[in-house]
């Protein structure tokens, strides 16, 4: 199972698509927060997601407690990936991060516009101030509904030969479980 994000997949993950960050508490109760963008660290072994301070407290408390995060990236055409990993650090987002967040929000507004959501609704969400949450990438799963749903990238697909590649062109898959 690969634990690095390809350059092609990074382009998809860093575009203006929906990004949700999941964690769980000691009782295995899930918590989720909407992220406002992601940045794949060169080499693809680490991922930074931007979580608004106003909405991320419980998600981050869980991650600080058990070190586990799952990040789901989804486009309006349902192409989706989940990146699971270990929390490395939580920092206050800086000026460069803020520019990234604003660029992401503009992309998200355009992306949602394809399905009829007015951009003004996306701009009502306050993504600032934000945390820059860095995680080690441990596993990547295809999430797109269809044959082979839930398959890990680089692993043989269920019900068929071959492997699911990080490019996302190897077929459709679906949901791959909760965080660690």
For residue 51, the domain's CATH number is 2.30.110.10
What pLDDT is attached to residue 105? 81
More confident residue, 119 or 33: 33
Give the domain range for residue 18: 7-142
| Confidence check: pLDDT of 173 > 80 | no
Whole-model pTM: value is: 0.79
Q: Is residue 76 part of a domain?
A: yes
What pLDDT is attached to residue 156? 45
Q: Is residue 148 part of a domain?
A: no
What pLDDT is attached to residue 68? 95
What pLDDT is attached to residue 128? 85
Q: Is residue 154 part of a domain?
A: no
Q: Is residue 180 part of a domain?
A: no
Q: Concatenated DSSP letters for 116-156?
A: T--HHHHHHS---SEEEEEEEEEEEEE-SSSTTTTPBTTSB
What pLDDT is attached to residue 17? 82
Q: Is the distance from CB of 24 to CB of 175 less than 8 angstroms?
A: no
Q: Is residue 165 part of a domain?
A: no
Phi, psi of 46 (to 5 degrees): -135, 155
Between CA 174 and CA 146 the distance in angstroms is: 6
Judged by DSSP in three states, 87 sits in strand
99-148, pLDDT tens digit by residue?
Answer: 988 888 887 777 776 776 766 766 667 778 999 999 999 999 888 888 76
What pLDDT is attached to residue 111? 73
Across 25-175, the runs of DSSP E, i.e. the strands, are: 30-34, 38-40, 46-52, 68-74, 80-92, 130-142
What pLDDT is attached to residue 2? 56
Q: Is residue 100 part of a domain?
A: yes
What pLDDT is attached to residue 84? 94
User: 150's torsion region: left (phi>0), alpha (psi -120 to 50) or beta?
Assistant: left
Q: Is residue 37 part of a domain?
A: yes
Q: Is residue 152 part of a domain?
A: no
| Total domains in the fold of the chain | 1
72 Cβ neighbours under 8 A, 6+ residues apart: 18, 19, 20, 22, 80, 81, 82, 143
Residue 15 pLDDT class (50, 70, 90 cuts): confident
35-89, pLDDT tens digit by residue?
Answer: 888 999 999 999 999 999 988 999 999 999 999 999 999 888 888 889 999 999 9
Between CA 8 and CA 94 the distance in angstroms is: 26
Between CA 37 and CA 101 the distance in angstroms is: 6
What pLDDT is attached to residue 79? 83
């Amino acid at each position: 199972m690969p634990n690095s994000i390809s350059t092609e997949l990074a382009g998809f993950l860093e575009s203006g698509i929906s990004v949700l960050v999941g964690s769980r508490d000691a009782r295995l109760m899930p918590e989720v927060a909407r992220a406002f963008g992601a940045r794949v660290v060169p080499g693809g072994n680490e991922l930074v997601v931007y979580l608004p301070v106003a909405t991320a407290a419980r998600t981050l408390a869980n991650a600080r407690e058990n070190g586990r995060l799952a990040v789901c990236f989804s486009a309006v055409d349902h192409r989706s990936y989940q990146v699971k990993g270990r929390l490395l650090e939580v920092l206050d987002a800086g000026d460069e991060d803020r520019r990234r967040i604003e660029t992401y929000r503009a992309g998200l507004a355009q992306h949602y516009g394809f399905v009829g959501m007015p951009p003004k609704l996306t701009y009502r969400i306050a993504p600032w101030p934000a945390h820059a949450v860095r995680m080690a990438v441990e596993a990547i799963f295809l999430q797109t509904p269809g044959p082979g749903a839930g398959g890990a990238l680089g692993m043989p697909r269920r019900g068929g030969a071959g492997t699911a590649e990080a490019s996302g062109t190897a077929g459709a898959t679906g949901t791959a479980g909760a965080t660690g």
